């Protein structure tokens, strides 16, 4: 079963980390990704630029509305994602708990829907 792990980080807290701390977290993430790749479980993933670089698009009454910044105005913003292929939700939870930012932020797990809507 495929799951997307949405890594939602506390951006103000992230900004307080020094370069060495950020590099350590990144190295841990690469190590986890490499391990999952070797088992055929890692399908994709990338860190994202800060939410301040986001552009939001909405279409209302046929008119396109483009806004700078993220859609959600919350403390935690989407900071990256992983797509994994595992046997069940329990295995996805175990992997999500190993993501370094899970120690200070939130990892949301969602099953990937394949095929047309039902």
Neighbours of 103 (CB within 10 A): 10
**Degrees (nearest 5) of the Cα angle 43, 46, 48?**
150
For residue 105, what pLDDT is reported? 85
As a whole-number percent, the residues of the chain with pLDDT over 90 amount to 54
Q: Cα–Cα distances in Å, from 64 out to 51, 57, 60, 106, 115?
A: 21, 7, 7, 32, 28
pTM given for the model: 0.82
Neighbours of 43 (CB within 10 A): 15
For residue 70, what pLDDT is reported? 64
Span 3-53, pLDDT tens digits: 999 998 887 788 888 999 999 999 999 999 999 999 999 999 998 888 788
Question: Which of 10-19, 71-80, 107-116 shows the highest mean pLDDT?
Answer: 107-116
pLDDT confidence band for 108 (50 / 70 / 90): very high
Please determine, for residue 73, whether its predicted confidence score (pLDDT) is greater than 70.
no
- In order of their start, the domains of the chain are 2-111 (3.30.70.1060)
DSSP-derived letter for residue 74 is S
Q: How far apart are CA 24 and CA 5, in angstroms?
A: 20
């Amino acid at each position: 079963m495929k799951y997307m792990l949405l890594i939602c980080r506390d951006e103000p807290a992230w900004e307080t980390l020094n370069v060495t701390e950020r590099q350590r977290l990144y190295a841990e993430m690469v190590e986890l990704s490499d391990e999952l790749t070797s088992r055929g479980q890692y399908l994709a993933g990338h860190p994202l630029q800060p939410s301040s670089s986001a552009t939001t698009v909405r279409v209302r009454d046929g008119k396109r509305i483009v806004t700078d910044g993220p859609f959600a105005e919350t403390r935690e913003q989407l900071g990256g994602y992983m797509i994994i292929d595992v046997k069940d939700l329990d295995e996805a939870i175990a992997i999500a708990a190993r993501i370094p930012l899970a120690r200070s932020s939130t990892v949301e797990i969602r099953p990937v829907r394949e095929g047309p809507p039902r």
